[in-house]
Structure 1
Amino acid sequence: MNTRVLLVDDEELVRGGLRAILDAQDDLEVVGEGADGAVVVPLVALLRPDVVVLDIRMPLVDGIQATRDLRRRLDAPPRILVLTTFADDENVYAALHAGADGFLPKRARPTEIVDAVRVVARGESLLFPAAIRSLAARHATPRARAGTAVVDLTPREREILRLVAGGLSNGEIANELFLGVQTVKTHVSSLLRKLGARDRTQAVIAAYESGLVPL
């Protein structure tokens, strides 16, 4: 079954380019387009996409608020991939906090765009550890860095979170720590629950903000 994709960007040329790239793949299908975040929730309810590719900057409702709306108003929201210039790092950080599953520069190569959609469609987070570290260093307040709850994590969970923050996959963590992949998955699920993080991206942010992983 193809991965269904909704494109939301106020620039028609951007949407057209993304559609051409994604529709050229046998496993991806663009099922709709929107020009503002205000239409995201009704379009998702109508079209049932698996992934929403969402611009951060739009005139009426931006991608940050649209991400919040999807998370709050839908019981089973799609995966969310936000588009950014990387110069707009404050908004990228806010989008990740709001629940975006990953971010991608608008100038990414076609292969990178395709890979990013596939990654988030599989239920994984699109992590750029160095970029997230830089964002946290610029935008996390000292209070936030001290206040994120990591005290309930076990030593093993802290160790695994540090490796997640380094960009390692579950399989790579398993090899590093001589554990089974399922054991790593169990630890990751537990640390996400304790941190109140919905995915690995938010867990990495928490790791930096808490000081568990140095900025």
Structure 2
Amino acid sequence: MSDLHLLDNIIWNTLSGTQAGFAAGTAQARRYARGFSPIAGFAEAESPDFDALAPFCAAGERLYCDRWSGKAPPGWQIDAESTMFKMVWDAPIPAHDPASDAVPLRPEHAAQALTLAAQTQPGPFGLRTPELGDYFGYFDGERLVAMAGERFQAGTLREISGVCTHPDFQGRGMARRLMLKLVRREMLRGEQPFLHVMRANVHARALYQRMGFRDYLETVVRVVSLR
């Protein structure tokens, strides 16, 4: 039986399941612990219980969440809103590892990964985010210039995330090779690769479609903070 339905509320299914040890919260609302990606999920995604989440948040702390619309609940504000696509791999397993020369990222690379993410904005990212899965990168000397890794996990679903390349090194296919490396590794483990991409990122979405990903669902995504 397919686990694709878990994508409908993937944040909650991740934070209350396989990655519960990286999260804080209750039976109604959970978030990644501080230091990881600033993301929150709810048992009822379309009617979230922000009162349950509030004790685990600091005033002004910005958190990403999805699947709900309407006014901000009392004591909270909506700082940003858009939509994003959840895309799933829908092609054969890559025949070979196209990034066999990529370097596995270790704890000593965490600060460089955070710096690269800050420069390129691939999505919510924290110093400890690479602990959530396998991360690989390319270096120019001692400097990390491209990376991709794994974040959400629920059932057989495994997310490819943190995909980015320093502007000085774009156009060389580094990120694409890293992604295909992860796709192959996940499929060999019996997992279903998926990813998120913002609606406005038309170029990236078109690239992912050419690679073998297809749209599964478009959802609202918001950044919220406790006043």
Q: Give the TM-score normalised by the residue count of structure 2.
A: 0.27
- Whichever structure has more strand as a proportion of its residues is 2
